[in-house]
Amino acid sequence: MAGLVLVAGLAAAAMTAPWIAPHDPTAIDAGIILAGPSAQHLLGTDDLGRDVLSRMIYGARISLAVGFVSVGIAVLIGTTLGACAGFFGGFADAIVMRFVDVMLCFPSTFLILTVIAFIGPSIWNVMFVIGVTGWMGVCRLVRAEFLSLRERDFVVAARALGAGDARLIFRHILPNAMAPVLVAAVLGVAGAILTESGLSFLGLGVQPPTPSWGNILTAGKDNIDVAWWLSFFPGVAITLTMLGYNMLGEGLRDALDPRLGGDE
Amino acid sequence: MAVYIVRRILLMIPLLFGITVISFLVVHLAPGEPTDMMTDLNPKASLEAKERLRALYGLDQPLHVQYWRWLGRLSRLDFGTSFSSDRRPVLEKTLERMPVTIGLNVLSEIFVFSIALPIGILAAVRRGSLFDKISTVGVFFFFSVPTFWLALLAMLLFGVKLGWLPISGLRSFDHDQLGFWGRMADLARHLVLPVVVGSIGGLAGISRFMRSGMLEVIRQDYVRTARAKGVPEGQVIWRHALRNAVLPIITILGLSVPGLIAGSVIFETIFAIPGIGQLMWQAVMARDYPMILGNLVISGVLTLFGNLVADVGYVLADPRISFSGRG
C-alpha cells in the first residue's frame, strides 16, 4: 500500500536526520534571513537565517515522536478504562461511560488549550495533553469489543476451566480486541501530528528553536508577503504525512475487518 | 416524547457536574496560584499582601470548599472578571463574540451541505465513472490537508499575490462609511476565504458519507421495484432513493450542532476574526485564567445542550426510532 511506503519513508528520514540534514537546524545566520530556495538552501531560509530543509527534517522527528507518544498514552488510558468498563460491566461501566461523556462535552481544542495554558507549552506537555484528551474513542472501541467478546465460547470455556479475571483479560480477550484499536491508533497518529502542528503554529506547542513543522508555518504566516516558501513546504510535509497515515489506517481497516465487505 | 426529553435532561445533570469538576481540576493542575499572576509582577507585594489576596479569593480554603463556592457563583452565572486589562466580566466578553463564531460556522455548514450533497449523490449514481474516481481521490486529499495550511495558502494566493480578497478581520477600515449595500459587500468579501477554506474538511467527509448512504439505498429492494415498474430513472433517484439516503445526513447535521459553538481557534487566529476561538487563544496567551476557565465551562455546557438538541432532532426525523427505547 502506498500508505506504508510514505510512512516508512518518513520514518527513515526522521531517523537519519543528523546525517542527511545539510545544515544545523538551529544555526542562525543573520546575513541570509528570508532567502528563497537556492542551491545552498534547497527550501530557503527562515526569518532567523536558519535552513528550512534541515529544520523540516528535524521537525519530522518531533512530529513523529509526538504522534507516537501521544497516541500511546491515549491507547493506554482508553484500553484500560474500556477494558474495565466492558469486562466488569455494571457500576464500573456506568462510571466510565459517564466520564467519557463528560470529556466528550468539551470541544477538544479548548480543552487542549486550557491544559497547555496551565502547565506551559513544551513538547512533553503537548504529548501529555493530546494523549489525555484523545483516549475516549479508543475507550469506546475497547469497551464494545470486550462486551461482545466476553460472551464468546472461548472465554466461557476458559472461565469454566478456572481462569481468573486477570488471566481472562490479558491472555484471552485483550489480544482479540486489539484489531480496531490498531486502526484507531494509526489514524490517531495522523490526528495527533495535525494537532501538534496546529498547537506549534499557534505558539503553544513545540517552542523555537526546536523545529516543528507547525512553528515554521508560524514564521510563514508572519512573513507571508515576502517568504512564500515558509508557508508552503511545511504544509506539504504535514499533508504527505497525514496522507500516509490515513491511507495506512484505511488499508489496515479493510484488511483486518472481514465484516466490511464494502465497495471501496 | 416529552418523557424522553425529560429523561435526557435529568441525565444531563450529572454530566453538568462532571463538566464543572473536570474544569475545576484542570485549573488546579497549574503549579502556583491564579493570584500569582497579579502579585508576581509587583515586587512591592509583601508576603502578607499575598496572603490577604489569597484569602480574598478564598484560595486558602481546602479544595472542595473552593469548588462549592465556585459552583455557587456559576449557578448565578457569575463567571468572574477577566484578568486582562479591560477587566470586563467574562460572560459578557464571551457572549458578545459568540454570534460571530456561530454565524461563521453556520455559513460554513450551509456551504458544505449545498456542495457536498450533490457531489456525493452524483458520485453514487455514476459509480465507477471518472467523476467518481476523481472525487474519491480529491476527497481523500482534502481530508489529509491541514486546514490551517490551506488557509495560509489561500491567503497567500488570493490575498497577497492576486489581491482579490482581504485577508483579515471582518471589516475594512472604512467599513462604517460605506452605505448599507457597501457594508454587506464588504462583509461578504471578508467572509469568502474563511467560509470556503473552513468548509474543505467538512466537504470531504459529508460527500463521502452521502455517497455511501446513497449507494446503500440504491441497492434496496424498493428501488428495484420502482425501476421494474417503469418509473423513469430521474424519479427513482429523486423521489425514492434520495428521501431515505438523507436520513443519515440529518444525523450528521445534528451531530455537528455541538461543533457550531466551539470556534476553530486556529482559523479565527489566522483570519483575525473576532470570535470565541480567538478570544480563547488570547486568553491562553495572556494567562487570563478566569476567561479560560469560563470559556471552557460555557463551551462544555453549550455542547451538552447541543447534543440534546441533536438527539431530539434525530428522534423526530427517523420514524423507526421508538421514543421509549433511547437514552
- For B89, the 3-state DSSP assignment is strand
Sign of the torsion formed by the C-alpha atoms of B139, B268, B148 and A126: negative
pLDDT at A132 over 80: yes
Instruction: List C-alpha distances in Å: B50 to B40, B42, B60, B98, B261.
Output: 10, 11, 11, 36, 38
* pLDDT interval class at A262 (50, 70, 90): very low
> Low-confidence residues of chain B, pLDDT below 50?
323-327
| Per-residue model confidence as pLDDT tens digits over B220-268 | 777 778 778 877 777 777 777 777 777 777 777 766 766 666 667 777 7
| Per-residue model confidence as pLDDT tens digits over B77-92 | 766 666 666 667 777 7
| Nearest residue, CB atoms, A231 vs list B152, B266, B303 | B152
Q: What is the ipTM of this complex?
A: 0.73
DSSP character for A30? Answer: G
Write out the H or E segment, with its range, that includes residue B190.
Answer: helix B180-218
pLDDT at A165 over 60: yes
User: Chain A residues with CB inside 8 Å of B284's CB?
Assistant: 113-114, 116-117, 204
- Name which of A53-67, A181-195, B178-192 the model is least confident about: B178-192
| Structure-block grid coordinates of residue B210 | 452521502
From B43's Cα to the closest Cα of chain A, the distance in A is 23
CB contact under 8 A, B296 and A110: yes
Burial of B244 (0-12, 13-18, 19+ CB in 10 A): middle
pLDDT at A56 over 50: yes
Window 67-106 of A, Cβ < 8 Å to B:
98-99, 101-103, 105-106
User: Which of B312, B135, B127, B305 has the alpha carbon at shortest distance from B208?
Assistant: B135
Beta-carbon contacts of residue B79 (< 8 Å; ≥ 6 apart): B73, B89, B90, B91, B94, B290, B293, B294, B297, B298
Q: Which amino acid is at B168?
A: S
* pLDDT interval class at A226 (50, 70, 90): confident
User: Chain B residues with CB inside 8 Å of A115's CB?
Assistant: 26, 29
- What is the distance between the alpha carbons of residues A29 and A214, in angstroms, rounded to a whole number? 21
Which residue of A1, A95, A114 is the best one to mutate when testing the B interface, meaning the one whose CB has the most B CBs within 10 A? A114
Write out the H or E segment, with its range, that includes residue B310.
Answer: helix B289-317
pTM of the model: 0.78
| Per-residue model confidence as pLDDT tens digits over B136-147 | 777 777 777 887
Cβ of A197 under 8 Å from any chain B Cβ?
yes
User: Chain B residues with CB inside 8 Å of A101's CB?
Assistant: 15, 18
- Cβ proximity of A135 and A81 under 8 Å: yes
CB contact under 8 A, A239 and B149: yes
pLDDT at A74 over 60: yes
- What is the distance between the alpha carbons of residues B85 and A146, in angstroms, rounded to a whole number? 52
Q: What percent of chain B has pLDDT over 70?
A: 71
